[in-house]
Amino acid sequence: MDGHDVLTYNCLNLNSDFFSEEVTITPYTYRAFDPGPYNESMSAFEDYLGKPYLSDSERELYVDFFNNRSPIDGKAPAWQIITVYSYEPDFGMDRELILSPMQRIMGSSASWRHEEYRMLFRFGEVTKRFLHFDRMSQLAMSKNDKYWALRFAARAIHYLEDIGTPYHTSPGTLPEILKIPFLYRSQFKKISSYHKFHDRFIGYRLWREYTPFIRAVSEVNASDFDGLIDMVETTRKRALRFLPEIERLVKGLVHKGSSSHLRTDFSRGYFDELIAVEDTRQIDKASCIVLKNIASAVKYYLEHLERRFT
């Protein structure tokens, strides 16, 4: 999903003393506890506060929505740390790795870590990544290292938001999945296109602070879960239930004008034109339901963090 930062930002209670506190930035000293593996060329875990932090493809859609100021006297507010680093798992640390012989089914090591399909067997480990970084956050807090406690929690939030994204729960509906063994290349391209469209459509709308999307995120209340395991399982199951409707609407837009033509160039210009000429009310409404599910879980987790650390 694109737009993790703006989604997270609009889930935060900026009036909270906990999230407004200025936090001292500390070095990364957790390699023994957090071995990854990570892509070493993309996982220096440098400080991104006050700097551009998105990949070129994501920055193409990006519009500034908050003041990502540079740290002052080595400190930054907790809300800024969580906002920026809720995007960190997409900076590249999960790419080009060998994690499992099964990762080829999902396309890449990044997909393996950011998605989770349950089709007789479990493929992917997004739930494990959420739980890992939640534990790392607890470890950092036990060392009185609030900066890394927040930064690890922000990474956990990223994976939680992926858990609630429909195309991260399944490559598609059952009819589309059943075609894969017979039409592997074309079907993989088609399913990937649907996934990419919805991820980027959400980011495009969120970064432009599209009122229905922002309202869906900011106004929903935290759900009432029975702990973190119940939170991730419930959020994932809800997202999976939304997939058939999302797929139906995405198909109608991606194949617009020709049933045989598959769009893959989901650029800023593509979405500018789409919004200008097409009726997107149905995909907007369905996406708001997706965002409410994610935001209700993120808000539960943020409240959980505040109780844990104060």
pLDDT for 259: 43
Look up the CATH number of the domain holding residue 274.
1.10.575
pLDDT for 12: 98
Domain count, the chain: 1
Closest CA to 86 of 120, 127, 118, 133: 133
Distances (CA, A) of 198 to 12, 45, 278: 24, 28, 15
pLDDT for 258: 45
Domain that holds residue 232: 4-309
Phi, psi of 273 (to 5 degrees): -70, -40
**Is 268 buried (19+), middle (13-18) or exposed (0-12) by CB count in 10 A?**
middle
Beta strand 117-119 pairing with 75-77? unpaired
Q: Please indicate, yes or no, whether the overall pTM of this predicted structure exceeds 0.85.
A: yes
Phi, psi of 58 (to 5 degrees): -75, -35
Residue ranges, the chain, pLDDT below 70: 43-44, 181, 184, 257-264
Q: What is the pLDDT of residues 138-154, one digit of tens each?
A: 999 999 999 999 999 99
